Amino acid sequence: MIARLSSAALVATLGVALSSQPAEACGCFAPPDPTVPIVQAGERILFSAKNGMVNAHIQIQYAGEAKDFGWLLPLPSIPTLKLGSEELFTQLINTTQPRYFVNTTTTGTCGGFNRFGAPTAAGGFENDSSGGAGGGQSVLVTQSSIGPYDYAVLRADRKDDMLQWLATNRYFIPTGTEDVVGPYIRPGAYFLALKLKSGKSAGDIQPVVLDYPSDLPMIPIILTSVAAQPNMGIQVWMLGEGRAIPRNYNHVVLNDSQIDWLNRAQNYNDVVIKAVSEAPEKHAFVTEYAGTSAIMQGVLDAPSRFGDNAALAAITDPGLFVDYLFEHGFAPAANNNGGFGFVQPVLPPLLKTLVLTQIPFPASLSTETTEDEFLRRLQFYLGEYRTQHPDKFVGYQTSFDPSALAAQIKEKIVDPALAAGALFRQHTHLTRLYTTLSPEDMNRDPVFSFNPSLPDVSRDHTAQLRIDCGLGGDPSTSPATLTTEQGWTFSLPNRTTAPDVSGGPGALRVETLAEEGSPLVILDNGKNIATATGCGGCSSVDPSIAFGLLALIAARRRRQRS
């Protein structure tokens, strides 16, 4: 059984005691057999924080029996719960994914055709019972259901009372949770417990949205450790009025001489793991994007997207109903990771599950087509094809109810997407942070804040490859020079031979970020990288540092004039 949540990021002002309770998001999945831990492949969360309120969109990915699903999340206050949009995370990944380009030039006279430098997408990879609490107060605060979930909010005053309630009501938690839940047990703290309703399947799972009072967002990574895997990716997006920072973790700037530029940065995650391991306690995040939130404006909530729900509900022909979904933005173009060629649109997983529940895929067609192709050409398969091959549809029945299906689509797809899209018009800046953590290093919950004075970070990175063809040389075998974005230069015997930089550090710098001012560098690997690259006289130029120096000079000049 595999369960996934999704990724994150942090920065640190180490040793600072918080004066207020930070917000917490994330959680742990629980198997029915508490001796068997679940593997979490990663966590993805979008936070926004404003005026003492935190809004958290949390992606929940899970594979297994519905009866075995359970989710537990510590919180500093009582939340309100809504359904979220799975497309939100798909589009966030697509628009903020780090990309590595190679700009190729030639000298001399090259023979043959030369094409190189396609972009790569790299980066960190969706019964009412109560037990008694202390002082006779019920451990249960509220219990209800939403979408596919039953949920309960529990007081976290006493560990034993809370765990007993969970056990009595079949909210399972894995072995080891009792040992790590301690930091979240305190007066005034709460837990949100989630499970699937009876009759629901793993395909019904969708993101959840939490709103709760808190000054700062936090990920309860200590609790996550009981079900984590080594080097688990944690990906966090932050919306606010400036660049987001990890407040109590370090920040690393990757050494881009370690990136495999000539092979589409396929080793990106390995470089992140290496860079994070060089930070104290292996507590550090990488900023993968920081800039305007406008890149997500209109992506989820484009004008007239989704058409008219009343018109959809009035379509009584299944084929025309599904065609309407494809024609009105319910199946956004898939991202082919920077490659070439046309990618056929597909309905997103949750929407696909809703449609196939009422218009099932005939098992007899499984050897000749796919569910996605069946839905793309539903009119053909339920019309002309069915007439020509009646034997394929013996006993086939649908439960198609356009009004009921349109209502489900509005509740679970349209409304959450429009609400998520509106967030990017309410905040000016979007930051994407990423790290990897192993269970033994999950001993401090990362907290996030903002520093509006820090420069933006582009998701696009470009190296320069100069090929010396001589007179009529083959560009694929001619000697070349590769210069990374940070300025590290390598002489290559030919353009396809990647430099050997295995001995170099993963981080250019390890630093701490505060809520104002410039980064405080605690480790600068510039000289070590120069030695490893054989570039003793070279010096790297990090665009963010150059920008920061210019901003500092400008600020000093303004102060001198005033």
Q: Dump pLDDT digits (tens) for 467-509.
A: 988 766 777 788 999 999 999 999 998 877 778 777 789 999 9
pLDDT of 534: 67
Spatial separation of the C-alpha atoms in residues 392 and 520, rounded to whole Å? 68
Residues 453-474 have a mean pLDDT of: 88
Give the residue with greater pLDDT, 337 vs 250.
250
Percent of the chain with pLDDT over 90: 58
Spatial separation of the C-alpha atoms in residues 294 and 120, rounded to whole Å? 22
Query: CA dist 391 to 357, 374, 388, 502, Å?
Result: 22, 17, 9, 61
pLDDT of 342: 56
CA-nearest of 391, 352, 393, 390 to 370 is 352
Give the residue with greater pLDDT, 341 vs 89.
89
Structure tokens at 435: 């790290």
> pLDDT band at residue 333, thresholds of 50, 70 and 90?
low
pLDDT tens per residue, range 216-255: 999 999 988 877 889 999 999 999 999 999 999 999 999 9
Is residue 33 predicted with pLDDT exceeding 60?
A: no
**Residues forming a β-bridge with 54:** 49, 212
> pLDDT band at residue 129, thresholds of 50, 70 and 90?
very low
What does the DSSP 8-state code read for residue 218? B
The residue whose two tokens read 């008219």 is: 308
> pLDDT band at residue 370, thresholds of 50, 70 and 90?
very high
Spatial separation of the C-alpha atoms in residues 8 and 22, rounded to whole Å? 16
pLDDT of 37: 29
pLDDT of 493: 87
CA-nearest of 180, 30, 77, 84 to 418 is 84
> What is the DSSP code string of 413-460?
IIHHHHHHHHHHHH-SEEEEEEEEE-GGG--S--BEEE-TTSPPB-SE
CA 379 to chain centre: 36
Q: Are 74 and 434 in contact (CB under 8 A)?
A: no
Is residue 287 predicted with pLDDT exceeding 90?
A: yes
Say if 79 falls within a structural domain: no
Give the residue with greater pLDDT, 148 vs 502.
148
In a 10 Å sphere around its CB, with 0-12 CB exposed, 13-18 middle and 19+ buried, how is residue 267 labelled?
A: middle
Can you tell me whether residue 409 is helix, strand or coil? helix
Structure tokens at 312: 């959809």
pLDDT of 351: 94
pLDDT of 134: 43
Say if 319 falls within a structural domain: yes
CA-nearest of 38, 48, 32 to 5 is 38
Range with the lowest mean pLDDT among 146-160, 233-247, 401-415, 522-536?
522-536
pLDDT of 28: 53
Degrees to nearest 5, angle at CA 432 with 228 and 56: 70
Is residue 282 predicted with pLDDT exceeding 90?
A: yes
Spatial separation of the C-alpha atoms in residues 468 and 490, rounded to whole Å? 14
CA-nearest of 81, 1, 79 to 41 is 1
Q: Report pTM.
A: 0.83
Other beta carbons within 10 Å of 19: 6
Is residue 445 predicted with pLDDT exceeding 70?
A: yes
Give the residue with greater pLDDT, 269 vs 115.
269
What letter represents residue 149's amino acid? Y
Spatial separation of the C-alpha atoms in residues 94 and 237, rounded to whole Å? 13
> pLDDT band at residue 459, thresholds of 50, 70 and 90?
very high
Is residue 110 predicted with pLDDT exceeding 90?
A: no
pLDDT of 366: 94
Give the residue with greater pLDDT, 126 vs 469.
469
Say if 463 falls within a structural domain: no
Say if 464 falls within a structural domain: no
Length of the chain: 562
User: What's the domain count of the chain?
Assistant: 1
pLDDT of 471: 65
Residues 284-300 have a mean pLDDT of: 97
Average pLDDT over the chain, rounded to an integer? 82
Say if 340 falls within a structural domain: yes
> pLDDT band at residue 530, thresholds of 50, 70 and 90?
confident
pLDDT tens per residue, range 399-423: 999 999 999 999 999 999 999 999 9
Spatial separation of the C-alpha atoms in residues 459 and 292, rounded to whole Å? 12
CA-nearest of 105, 111, 152, 108 to 128 is 152
- Alpha helix (H) ranges present in 185-260? 221-224
> pLDDT band at residue 276, thresholds of 50, 70 and 90?
very high
CA-nearest of 54, 71, 60 to 151 is 71
Structural domain of residue 410, as residue ranges?
A: 309-419
Most confident of 8-17, 79-88, 498-507: 79-88
Range with the lowest mean pLDDT among 5-14, 421-430, 519-528?
5-14
Say if 559 falls within a structural domain: no
Q: What is the Cα Rg of the chain in Å?
A: 26
Say if 325 falls within a structural domain: yes
Spatial separation of the C-alpha atoms in residues 131 and 137, rounded to whole Å? 9
Spatial separation of the C-alpha atoms in residues 49 and 172, rounded to whole Å? 31
Is residue 550 predicted with pLDDT exceeding 50?
A: no
Is residue 542 predicted with pLDDT exceeding 80?
A: no
pLDDT of 531: 79
Spatial separation of the C-alpha atoms in residues 38 and 31, rounded to whole Å? 7
pLDDT of 9: 28
429-437 and 61-63 strand pairing: unpaired
Range with the lowest mean pLDDT among 87-91, 311-315, 404-408?
87-91
149-155 and 244-246 strand pairing: unpaired
pLDDT of 120: 44
Residues 194-202 have a mean pLDDT of: 84
First-last CA distance in the chain: 64
Say if 403 falls within a structural domain: yes
